[in-house]
Amino acid sequence: MIQVVTVSTEQELADAYAVRMKVFVDEQGVPEEIEIDELDEVADHFLARLDGKPVGAGRLIVRDGVGVLGRLAVLEETRGTGLGAALVRAIEERVAERGLGAVELHSQTRARGFYEKLGYEAYGEIGMDAGIPHIWMRRDLAN
């Protein structure tokens, strides 16, 4: 069973960070020193579990009146199970609860199709972040 929670304990935060480190640092080669950043101190963190095991994470910050989804990570062995979509929807719900009308994210270009299926549209130019091509995407929650 998939469960997504807003992180509320030190253990949940440690579990979310562990998922991010495995996906971004170990799997994708992002330098550890830039994976956990100053935005983590002000973000709402989300943790996804599959049958009780921590397997996904994401965070939300608010910038210029828009929710910014970031650091969405799902362990490789659980991709394709709906976990990523469940995390995105949970973050979108939090954005709506805060009265914000849109969600933006800086997607790795290889994940663009995933976000497009969830209603996001790309904008701007492709740029590099941690040596990985990224593009900005947005979804207006009224849609």
- Domain range for 89 is 2-140
- Phi, psi angles (nearest 5°) of residue 37: -125, -175
Q: pLDDT grade, residue 3 (50/70/90)?
A: very high
- The pTM (predicted TM-score) of the whole model is 0.95
pLDDT of residue 104: 98
Number of structural domains found in the chain: 1
**CATH code assigned at 42:** 3.40.630.30
SS (H, E, C) 8-49: CCHHHHHHHHHHHHHHHHHHCCCCHHHHCCHHHHCCEEEEEE
Summarised one tens digit per residue, pLDDT across range 100-126 is: 999 999 999 999 999 999 999 999 999
State the DSSP code for 111.
G
Summarised one tens digit per residue, pLDDT across range 26-71 is: 999 999 999 999 999 999 999 999 999 999 999 999 999 999 999 9
